[in-house]
């Protein structure tokens, strides 16, 4: 708390936030401007220098990965701070900072054996590999523990994997992935290499610029040593990861809402209509005020949940609250900002129309709003 009773970040996180903000402004966004509007990856000639600067100047790399495996191992609150600032570029909803600060492997891999961590976790960090997590299926994604029909049957020294996964982010470009399948003991988690026989992927076009994938397994042989954790304990293994991942996810959309509002305020100040600045119109002022109120509320929900997690507390409900409010808030804010810009708001030279499409998907990803409301209500009603 400061002298006025207001909550504020610790000084070291303020410094981190400001450094990331400058890095985004001075390095990342200028590089991204060289790409087409809907680009979702940065070419190596632009990305490699940014990654070097992020590591050398910021000391930031793969924020959720343990230090002993080459990451920064930031607290969840620090991850939220970085995620908010790193989202403030055109492709920030998909790849924070355009990939300049690295892309973490699924953190649950670090609960694996030494051999699994070395082959998949450490190698991903050192070589910049890509990975995917396959949970959702065509038959339903909101209740994955019951909806999973993908099966893995043990045969001697391997499992035979059959089934289809849907809406899998990054599967097309990934070198490996984690697949959740039903075994005799329950839901289990398997590490698969993309070059394994019996794996096929196809993109599923959606309203954003990049596509998730359908991943099909047909008699895919997965070695027993690729079982992550115990058989039947796969879903429990990643519960903490799933819950904690909702915090950077929430901070990400807050960053996009924040940047959208900054652009709208700048426009309102300089744009003149009916012989006065747009900023003088009460309708515009109320849109700006409502947006600022909602952004601050979402930030407090998200940061408080992260802080509680860092204290070791269960944040399942708090993370659901942050996820619902921040994603719905961001959609409203981006929509208002487009309205303030008028026709220019939907022009491809502005990032707003792209963010508008992204924010619609964010209400579905990481669990749709309705499921999180169910989690919150059940907790309240069971007390």
Show which residues are catalytic. 366
What are the distances in angstroms from CA 265 to CA 29, 279, 281, 288, 360? 19, 8, 12, 7, 23
Degrees to nearest 5, angle at CA 26 with 131 and 101: 20
Euclidean distance between CA atoms 313 and 317, whole angstroms: 11
Smallest CA-to-CA distance from 108 within 179, 161, 55 is with 179
Region label for 219, one of left (φ > 0), alpha (ψ between -120 and 50) or beta (otherwise) = left
What are the distances in angstroms from CA 91 to CA 36, 102, 210? 11, 14, 10
Contacts of 84 (CB under 8 A, 6+ apart): 17, 251, 252, 254, 255, 258, 299
- Rounded to an integer, what is the distance from CA 240 to the centroid of its chain? 15
Largest separation between any pair of C-alpha atoms in the chain: 80
> 3-state class of 178 per DSSP?
strand
Q: In this structure, what token pair is assigned to residue 56?
A: 């050398």
First to last CA, the chain: 31
What are the distances in angstroms from CA 297 to CA 231, 237, 281? 41, 32, 25
């Amino acid at each position: 708390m400061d002298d006025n009773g207001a909550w504020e970040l610790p000084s070291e996180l303020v410094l981190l936030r400001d450094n990331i903000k400058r890095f985004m402004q001075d390095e990342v966004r200028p590089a991204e401007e060289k790409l087409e509007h809907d680009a979702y990856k940065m070419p190596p000639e632009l990305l490699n220098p940014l990654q070097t600067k992020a590591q050398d100047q910021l000391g930031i790399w793969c924020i959720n990965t343990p230090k002993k495996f080459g990451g920064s191992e930031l607290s969840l609150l620090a991850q939220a701070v970085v995620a908010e600032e790193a989202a403030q570029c055109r492709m920030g909803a998909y790849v924070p900072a355009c990939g300049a600060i690295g892309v973490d492997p699924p953190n649950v891999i670090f609960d694996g054996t030494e051999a699994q961590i070395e082959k998949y976790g450490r190698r991903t960090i050192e070589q910049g590999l890509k990975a995917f997590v396959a949970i959702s299926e065509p038959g339903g994604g909101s209740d994955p523990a019951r909806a999973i029909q993908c099966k893995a049957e043990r045969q001697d020294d391997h499992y035979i994997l059959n089934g289809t996964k849907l809406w899998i982010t990054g599967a097309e470009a990934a070198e490996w992935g984690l697949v959740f399948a039903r075994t005799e003991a329950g839901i289990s988690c398997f590490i698969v290499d993309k070059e394994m026989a019996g794996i096929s992927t196809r993109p599923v076009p959606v309203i954003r610029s990049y596509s998730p994938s359908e991943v099909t397994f047909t008699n895919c042989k997965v070695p027993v040593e690729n079982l992550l954790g115990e058989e039947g304990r796969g879903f429990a293994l990643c519960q903490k990861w799933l819950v904690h991942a909702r915090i950077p996810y929430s901070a990400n959309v807050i960053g996009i809402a924040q940047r959208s509002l900054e652009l709208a305020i700048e426009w309102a100040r300089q744009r003149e209509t009916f012989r006065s600045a747009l900023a003088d119109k009460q309708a515009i002022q109320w849109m700006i005020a409502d947006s600022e109120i909602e952004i601050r509320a979402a930030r407090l929900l998200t940061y408080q949940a992260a802080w509680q997690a860092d204290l070791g507390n269960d944040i399942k409900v708090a993370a659901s609250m942050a996820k619902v409010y921040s994603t719905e808030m961001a959609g409203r804010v981006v929509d208002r900002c487009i309205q303030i810009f008028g026709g220019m708001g939907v022009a491809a030279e502005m990032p707003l129309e792209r963010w508008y499409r992204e924010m619609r998907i964010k209400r579905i990803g990481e669990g749709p709003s309705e499921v999180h409301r169910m989690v919150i209500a059940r907790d309240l009603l069971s007390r």
